[in-house]
Amino acid sequence: MAATDAPATPEELKTRIEAGIPGATAAVTGDGHHFNAVVSAPAFQGLSRIAQHRLVYDVFGAEVGDRIHALSIQTKAKAAETENSA
C-alpha cells in the first residue's frame, strides 16, 4: 500500500478512486488535508448512500482521518458506459 508521508494531493485521490472503483469518475478538490470528492460509478447503483460512501472510504483504508485528514464525499450512481460512444 501507499506507505508514504508525502502530502496527499487531489490528483492522487482522483487516480486512486478511479483505479479502486470500476468505472468510477471522480472530481477531487482539496488542500492536502481536507478533500472533497464527487464520485460517480456504476457500482453505486442499488446501494444505499452509506454503502456508496463506504466504497470510496475503502479505497483509502486507515489513511482516512490520518494522512487524509478529512474526506467529504458526494456519490452518484451512473449507468455503465456500454453505449455506442465509440
Cβ atoms of 56 and 37 closer than 8 Å: yes
Answer yes or no whether residue 41 interacts with other proteins by CB under 8 A: no
Answer yes or no whether residue 43 interacts with other proteins by CB under 8 A: no
**40 φ, ψ (degrees, to nearest 5):** -120, 140
Binding mask 54-73 for other proteins (x = CB under 8 A): x--x----x-xx----xxxx
Among positions 24, 30, 40, 53, the unique one binding other proteins when judged by CB under 8 A: 53
Q: Is 24 helix (H, G, I), strand (E, B) or coil?
A: coil
DSSP 39-52: EEEGGGTT--HHHH
Kindly list the residues in this chain that would bind other proteins in the complex (CB under 8 A): 49-50, 53-54, 57, 62, 64-65, 70-74
